[in-house]
Structure 1
Amino acid sequence: MPDEPTLGEIARRFEDRLSDVRDDIAQLGRRLDEKVDQKVYDLRHEALASRVTTLETLREKDAEKIVATRRWLIGAVVMPLMSVLLPVIIMIVRGSGA
């Protein structure tokens, strides 16, 4: 009989297990309180997708502006400058070669 637990020991063990179960239930309750509702998650996901789409559109517009600016620079600045300097360079090269 000395190996068998006493009623006091059984009660203490039962109380320990009961407090563990209570702690686990409380922890589950806290985790459930922190959980985001599916509808809220979906709304946030849609808003984020919309922002990404908007940013991609703005980036494409900016890229188009850069291309347009380069074309304008070449057409309005570089080409007239070359049309003025090219005859001068040709005259200098022909004049020095004669």
Structure 2
Amino acid sequence: MPDELTLGELARRLDDRTGDIRDDIRGLSEEMGKKVDQKLYDIRHDALAARVATLETLREKDAEKLVATRRWLIGAVIVPLVGILLPVIILLWQGAGS
């Protein structure tokens, strides 16, 4: 009967399995401790979504300010400058042609 286990061998194997199960349970407990609670995840996700929405709104306002600044620059600086220089250039051109 060499295939049969002795009581000592059986006890040793049972202790090994019990130790393995304890290690597995300990590992699972550590992993569960690392997981984020669903409520906390939802709160963080909502806060992040609100922050992104705020940043998008600010970006749109900045884009509108940039467009307004360009319009002001064209209307207040470039158009009067062209209005002053164009007659001078035309007069110089006509004077050079005569």
TM-score, structure 1 as length reference:
0.94
Match of 1:65 in 2: 65
Q: Which runs of 5+ in 1 are unaligned?
A: none
Match of 1:40 in 2: 40
Q: 1-side partners of 2:94 and 2:5: how far apart? A: 117
Is the aligned partner of 1:97 residue 2:88?
Answer: no
Match of 2:23 in 1: 23
Q: 2-side partners of 1:94 and 1:10: how far apart? A: 116
Is the aligned partner of 1:11 residue 2:27?
Answer: no
AA paired with 1:90? Answer: I
TM superposition shift of 1:4: 2.3
Match of 1:76 in 2: 76
Cα RMSD over matched residues? 0.9
TM-score, structure 2 as length reference:
0.94
User: Quick one: percent identity of the two aligned structures?
Assistant: 67
